[in-house]
Amino acid sequence: MDPLTEALLMFAGRRDHLLEVIEPALARGDVVLCDRFTDATFAYQGFGREFDCVALQSLESLVQRTPSLPAPKIRQPDVTLWFDVDPAVAASRLAGVRVPDRFEAQPQEFFARVSKGYAWRMQQYRARFARINAEQGLEKVWQEVEAALRQRGFLP
Amino acid sequence: MDPLTEALLMFAGRRDHLLEVIEPALARGDVVLCDRFTDATFAYQGFGREFDCVALQSLESLVQRTPSLPAPKIRQPDVTLWFDVDPAVAASRLAGVRVPDRFEAQPQEFFARVSKGYAWRMQQYRARFARINAEQGLEKVWQEVEAALRQRGFLP
């Protein structure tokens, strides 16, 4: 599929998710936890598929505008946890669990680019981005997550 | 549905159509005839649903870029035939043919705005836009179409 067609479909899904699920939840005062958000779009479409990041930025600022924030502010996560793991380690972990989907089935060079995409976003959004070393065991990973949330005032 | 979600889905469809159908046909030297294109998006989403035309313009220039044209040129029709007809006449004609879809089922004020949308686009693209008085009979309508094509060099 053409990467822009794919990006438009993803952003249509994101817009729907934002207005139908996330904004109402935030309005109720709920905590919203997303598996992936637009940082993943930059990592996978922008860097992984080497698609124009300027086009993605213009879609991001269009789609993440919301009536609950004064323009030009857009909805962004308060915290982004980047679970960074070597593609080979990720592949071997995944192999034990399920058949890879069409993103997961990409070659390892793809995931090396994806990782650079997350690093690029982290440079732009230092305050909310926490890189977690996800090659460690579960307990250590959790400790890093807790530390990242505590540091940003989301845990006592 | 949120108008931006709808617009993103439409532009995803347009992108796919452009790359998979239109560009290959143009490359073969075929004549491409589309029932609707982006002018209709401005008329229906922009004016009909009163959605931000600046956002639509940024989607248009993103989606209609094509490898076959040097940037910042974008793919546009050579001729746009606007079959202008009073909403009441259109409704009575349609009633004899089929059940209206979710656009066709809108109230007449909606179609009055749609018409303004086409007029707005026509002001920006005078050279390619031909307004056809479609309230006339079939023969007269066809004569206007022929004249519009002849005037632009597409008929001898």
Give pLDDT tens digits for A51-86: 999 999 999 999 999 989 998 899 999 999 999 999
Q: Hey, CA dihedral for A1, B77, A11, A18, is it positive or negative?
A: negative
pLDDT confidence of A93, banded at 50, 70, 90?
A: confident
- Which pLDDT band, with edges at 50, 70 and 90, does A98 fall under? confident
Q: Which of residues 76-115 of A touch B (CB under 8 A)?
A: none
B61-64, Cβ contacts within 8 angstroms, sequence gap of 24 or more: B62/A4, B62/A55, B62/A58, B62/A59, B62/B11, B63/A4, B63/A8, B63/B11, B63/B14, B63/B15, B63/B18, B64/B14, B64/B18, B64/B38
Q: Which pLDDT does position A11 carry in this prediction?
A: 97
- Cβ pair A121, A39 in contact under 8 A: yes
Cross-chain Cβ contact A9/B12 below 8 Å: yes
Contact A8 B4 (CB under 8 A): no
What residues are paired with A80 via a beta bridge?
Answer: A129
Q: pLDDT tens for residues A7-32? A: 999 999 999 999 999 999 999 999 99
Rounded Cα gap, residues A20 and A3, in angstroms: 25
Low-confidence ranges of chain B (pLDDT < 70): 103
A118, A50, B69, B36: CA torsion to nearest 10: -70
Nearest to B8 among A2, A11, A58 (CB): A11
Token pair 């079959």 is found at B83
pLDDT at residue A126 in the model: 95
**Nearest residue of chain B to residue A16 (CA atoms):** B5
Q: What is the ipTM of this complex?
A: 0.83
Q: Which is it for the CA torsion B64, B65, B66, B68, positive or negative?
A: positive
Coil, strand, or helix at residue A14?
helix
pLDDT of B94:
84
B72 part of contact set with chain A, CB < 8 Å: no
Tens digit of each residue's pLDDT (9 = 90 or more) over A122-155: 999 999 999 999 999 999 999 999 999 999 999 9
Q: What average pLDDT does this structure show over A119-123?
A: 97
**Which of A4, A15, A62, A60 has its CA nearest to residue B18?**
A4
Closest of B76, B56, B73, B48 to residue B10, by C-alpha = B56
Helix, strand, or coil here: A143?
helix
Q: What is the DSSP letter of A33?
A: -
- pLDDT at site B83: 96
Task: Tell me which residue in B11, B15, B58 faces A58 most closely, judged by beta carbons.
Answer: B58
Asked if A46 contacts A56 with a C-beta cutoff of 8 angstroms, the reply is yes
List CB contacts (< 8 A) between B62 and chain A: 4, 55, 58-59
* B 36-65 residues with CB < 8 A to A: 55, 58-59, 62-63
Which residues on chain A are in Cβ contact (under 8 Å) with B58? 58, 62
Three-state secondary structure call for residue A142: helix
What was the pLDDT predicted at A114? 94
Which of A8, A15, A59 lies at the smallest CB-CB distance from B15?
Answer: A8
- Read off the pTM: 0.84
Distance in angstroms (rounded) separating the CA atoms of residues B80 and B126: 10
Query: Alpha carbon B53 to chain centroid distance?
Result: 15
Instruction: Tell me what pLDDT residue B148 has.
Output: 96
Q: Are A84 and A133 in contact (CB under 8 A)?
A: yes
In SS3 terms, B40-73 reads as: HHHHHHHHHCCCCHHHHHHHHHHHCCCCCCCCCC
pLDDT for residue A14:
97
Query: Which residues on adjacent β-strands are paired with residue B132?
Result: B83
Chain B neighbours among A 11-30 (CB < 8 Å)? 11-12, 15-16, 19
**Mapping DSSP to helix (H, G, I), strand (E, B) and coil, where does residue A26 land?**
helix
Query: Rounded to whole angstroms, how far apart are CA atoms B82 and B76?
Result: 15
Q: What's the pLDDT at A69?
A: 93
Of A5, A12, A15, the CB nearest to B16: A5
**Helix, strand, or coil (residue A89):** helix
Q: Calculate what percentage of chain A has a pLDDT beyond 70.
A: 99
Structure tokens given for A152: 């940003």
The helix (H) or strand (E) run that includes residue A25 is: helix A23-27
Q: Provide the pLDDT for residue B30.
A: 97
